[in-house]
Structure 1
Amino acid sequence: MNHFFSIDQLSQSEIMMLLKLAKKYKSYSPNVDKKIFGANLFFEPSTRTKMSFIVAQRKLGIDVLDFNESVSSTKKGESLYDTARTFEAIGANFLVIRHQSDRWMDELKDISIPIINAGAGKSEHPTQCLLDLLTIYDSFEQFKDLKISIVGDIKHSRVAHSNIKALQKLGADVYVSAPPGLEDDKLKTPNITVDQAVELSDVVMLLRVQSERHIGKNETKTDYLEKYGLTKLREKRMKKNAIILHPAPINRGIEIDSTLVECDRSRIFNQMENGVYVRMALMMKLLQDWGVLKHENVIEERNAIL
């Protein structure tokens, strides 16, 4: 694997390999016995993705080059390509990039170090997809024939676009439930009501209403929860062993009743924890695929301490 831009790059077996490696890293952390620099270039706000990459890097013993877009040379007109080339030139071994453009990776074809997509506009969020998959795998130990509903702002969600592709590849039955105006007609996925979703699904994955991406509209209304979200009454109609996911940040009282965020069904904070391990697994695979790390550079069976 040269870069990790899309979940489409991975076969079913490659996805499962990364998930199993991430599960292994929950028990112990490998430690890199070599000077490695990872640059995190985030051009959009992020808490969970950015911080979990940093934790994953420090667990592995990777030195973090932290980029702050608000005080960078991009404010002087520097392009994404020139920023990436700068970090490559000063010695970064790989780049983690989040950018508001759907196709920012097209600018970086000549970069000769591995790049990880940490979010691309409305199109892709493949590392979030991997942590969602790991969370589902933790609960059900398989994906085939699971019924999974993704509920909310499908139109603007890079999480939904990545997850639908991967879950279908793994054999799950995927449904979407989008309020009027927030559908994505390009998706070949059944669109059902939220009431149908809670009754048939093993996994209900809620999405944040992305008001900042809406143009000329205000779909976030006070009655959104009652019409389209997960209320306490809807939660009571879920299957006995069904679980709740949400990529966060959470608009409590809009996508989900606040009391359900940490209920027994919820795996929302488990998702956040799993983000560290899938990102560790992905970075290790990329660095080894590029030959940056060799077997003798990795100390196994060592509990890393932050």
Structure 2
Amino acid sequence: MRHLLGIEGLRRADIEALLDRAEAHLHGGPDASHVLRGKVVANLFFEDSTRTRTSFEMAAHALGAEVLNWTTAGSSVSKGETLLDTVRNIEATGPVALIIRHRSSGAPHLAAKHVRCAVINAGDGTHEHPSQALLDAFTLRRRWGRLDGRTMLIVGDILHSRVARSNLHCLTALGAKVVLCGPPTLLPPGLESLGAEVTSNLDAALPHADAVMCLRVQTERQSENFFPSAREFSRMFGINAARAERLKPEALVLHPGPMNRGVEIAPAVADGPRSVILEQVAHGVAVRRAILEEVCR
């Protein structure tokens, strides 16, 4: 695997190999601090990030690499430098991998066509967020063993969610059923053709879910109102304590972050016994170590 640009198109065997490698890292496994020793990994984040950038940095350090953390603040982007000029100039300094987050869908794919080093998509517009989907699947697999026959309910702003798209590809490849739920205005057409079940009836879907993932409303990507108010969205599609009671006794609650507490998820649910949200974060380092090890070998 030269790049990781998305989950779409990956075989089940490819996904499971990455998850198996992450499992080995999580358990200590053989010392991997030499894998990228003397090499540089570049984080190119054109959008803000907490969990993804931090865990990629920790993953690179764990493999022995130096890390270049680049952001648009203080860069020549403010002077009109293009994406391609930026990535070509950073590549010229010698990194073995570029980890790119960008507001435009397809930006990492474009970069990968013009550089010789590995490119990892850390989230591109509303398209994909492959490492997030992998760590979500990893979290579920560690709880369940296998995902075959399980049902994941993803609730919220599906229209603007790269996490929903990557999880749809990843979880269905691993044998799970994915149900996407949100206001009709936030459910793009064509999801059924990708293997999803689609509904706007959250209360009817909850009892059948083995896990539910809450997604925040991405107001930064919206140029119009897709629902009356945040309060109305929370009333219709927020996972609160009462709705959590409708889930199966052992059902799990996930969130890719950042959370808008009290909107898509209630604090009592986010911090409650069903929540594996911090497990997702903790697993991010092992999964991203596996990704870096794969594309940089």
Measured after TM superposition, the shift of residue 140 of structure 1 is: 0.5
1:131 aligned counterpart, secondary structure = helix
Q: Match of 1:24?
A: 24
Q: Match of 1:199?
A: 207
1:135 aligns with 2:142: no
Q: Match of 1:297?
A: none
Aligned residues: 288
Within 1, Cα distance between the matches of 2:234 and 2:100?
33
Measured after TM superposition, the shift of residue 106 of structure 1 is: 4.1
1:278 aligns with 2:284: no
Letter in 2 for 1:209: V
Identity %: 39
Q: Deviations 1:192-251 (Å, cap 9, x if unpaired)? A: 221122210001011111111111216342132221111111111110111001101000
CA contact (8 A) 2:22 2:290 kept: yes
Q: Match of 2:119?
A: 115
Within 1, Cα distance between the matches of 2:224 and 2:150?
37
Letter in 1 for 2:263: I
1:111 aligned counterpart, secondary structure = coil
Question: What pairs up with 1:87-126 in 2 under 5 angstroms?
Answer: 87-108=90-111, 109-126=113-130
Within 2, Cα distance between the matches of 1:131 and 1:207?
16
2:185 aligned counterpart, secondary structure = coil
CA contact (8 A) 1:117 1:126 kept: yes
CA contact (8 A) 1:225 1:257 kept: no
CA contact (8 A) 2:163 2:256 kept: yes
Within 2, Cα distance between the matches of 1:238 and 1:266?
12
CA contact (8 A) 1:194 1:229 kept: no
Letter in 1 for 2:99: V
CA contact (8 A) 2:185 2:226 kept: no
Moved over 6 A (4+): none
Q: Match of 1:230?
A: 239
Question: What pairs up with 1:178-257 in 2 under 5 angstroms?
Answer: 178-188=182-192, 189-192=196-199, 193-217=201-225, 219=227, 220-257=229-266
CA contact (8 A) 1:197 1:204 kept: no
User: Which ranges of structure 1 fall in alignment gaps of 5 or more residues?
Assistant: 289-306
Q: How does the TM-score come out when normalised to structure 1?
A: 0.91
User: Which ranges of structure 2 fall in alignment gaps of 5 or more residues?
Assistant: none
Choose between structure 1 and 2 for higher RCO, CA contacts under 8 A separated by at least 6 residues.
1
Q: Match of 2:172?
A: 168
2:100 aligned counterpart, secondary structure = strand
Letter in 1 for 2:214: L
1:112 aligned counterpart, secondary structure = coil
Within 2, Cα distance between the matches of 1:110 and 1:212?
29
